[in-house]
Amino acid sequence: MNTASATPPNDGRHDLAGLSLDLDTLEQAYRHGGLTPLALVEELERRALVTVDDKVWLYRLPLPALRDAAQALQQRAARGEVLPLYGLPFGVKDNIDVAGLPTTAACEALRYTATRTAAVVEKLQAAGALLIGKQNMDQFATGLVGVRSPSGHCRNPFNPDLIPGGSSSGSAVAVATGQASFSIGSDTGGSGRVPAALNNIVGLKPTPGLVSTYGFLYNNRTFDVAPVFALTTGDALQVLDVIAGHDERDPWSVIGQDWRKSANTLRERFRFGLPAAQHLEFFGDLEAKAQFERALSWLQMLGGEPMEIDFSAFAEARSLVFDSPLVAERWIDYGATVESHPDAVHPAVRQSLRAGRNYNAQQAFECLYRLESLKRRAWSALKDVDALVLPTAATIYRCDQVEAQPQALNTNMGYYTYFANPLQLSAISVPAGLREDGLPFGLSFIGLPFADLRVAALAQRFHARIGGMLGATAAPNCSGKPY
């Protein structure tokens, strides 16, 4: 939204059933359509009652609390406060703390009432966004499939038999189905991008350190990030603009990095990197392969020139995320719960976490040394292109397929995403049209550290060319407005 202070219009009620929650639509409704945050929370409660069994939310704020928050927000606007995210409803993944609310990371044995509020939530509420609640997830943020929540998982809105993607499953489905304008998840190996692709929305994964992860339960603390799920790239960038910045409470927060310097540097004609053919894998999914090829042709029509790059460093870094001492870091936050309450932990999650005990300190340091070398090689490979372009997910599986082969198929889902955070790269996944079978397909744009705006500009240009609908709603994607 614009940074001008929002003036709350009258409290007249409107037919809000078909209201899209993208930022442009809500801004216009607030300014010129008579919508108020109070009226919006009433509509969101109505939508929640309709979808009460969809397992998107692990905790929703009670309606009286939402009404109070909406009224307080209207009073702030009336006083002339500058509220760039005025009245935008959002949710957070349930491994993100909000003081006074429960945090479970989808494990009841871990449940506690938070005494702190995550930095991202503080900034969003200060900017006028309305917190709706905590969203479902793959337990302990361990998984890319979205079906590892013992209390029940949410469903893919395009086909309930298919996985919604994880681990930020609820965060993506909430945005795709019109239950939130945006969500904040967590991303270790693709959890801010894979569920975005599988739900036809945008998943913006910032460069590690750009956004504070203070107040998170970590998976891999050294490279976890806070991604933004939104209906459009412009929406995601507006949120990123609010939450980015140094936070002294987070030791991995980057100091003094001018990430905005990459803005407006994209040329009409641009180069995009592609791996050699032997690195492209779709696990037999010919629909995904065909959609990727169509997406590449659209990129070339937009002025893009493909350029093959050396993908070997990316491929090797991908293998380190779950097949190296890096997995030992996950034991820090969750090991005690796994040991004391093993039956409360999803079997696939338990197996993944216990693998972290198989490494020693020497192996850990050798892995870190190797990773530093791979970073330099990957950065060198990216220096002559505006972005590396890849499918976000190579395929999409049925829930029963994943239950039958939980480890192997989960690994397949991260084929194009695992490497980005260990290599400290910027990335964004945007919808790339629907496949011939009607399922969504996502395209990822990946760039150098702190090239977030540069790769997002290319992604936004592409998404505007694709058009289509916003998420799983009937609202058209007509937002080509530059950030």
Q: Report the catalytic residues.
A: 93, 167, 191
Q: 110: which DSSP letter?
A: G
What φ, ψ does residue 34 adopt, rounded to 5°?
80, 5
Cα 102 to Cα 96: distance, rounded to the nearest angstrom: 10
Q: What is the CA radius of gyration of the chain?
A: 21
For residues 392 and 172, the answer to whether their CB atoms sit within 8 Å is no
Burial bucket for residue 202 (CB in 10 Å: 0-12, 13-18, 19+): buried
Token pair, residue 271, equals 């180069």
Cα 94 to Cα 118: distance, rounded to the nearest angstrom: 11
Cα 23 to Cα 296: distance, rounded to the nearest angstrom: 28
- Within 8 A by CB and 6+ apart from 48, the residues are 57, 60, 179
Helix axes 119-126, 233-243, angle to 10 degrees: 110
3 state DSSP class of 317: helix
> Which residues in 240-276 are b (16+ Cβ under 10 Å) and which e?
bbbbbeebeebebbbeebebeebeeebeeebebbbbe
Cα 265 to Cα 122: distance, rounded to the nearest angstrom: 31
Full strand arrangement of the beta sheet holding 202-205: 57-60, 130-135, 89-93, 182-184, 228-230, 202-205, 426-434, 440-447, 387-391, 270-274, 304-308
Cα 475 to Cα 33: distance, rounded to the nearest angstrom: 17
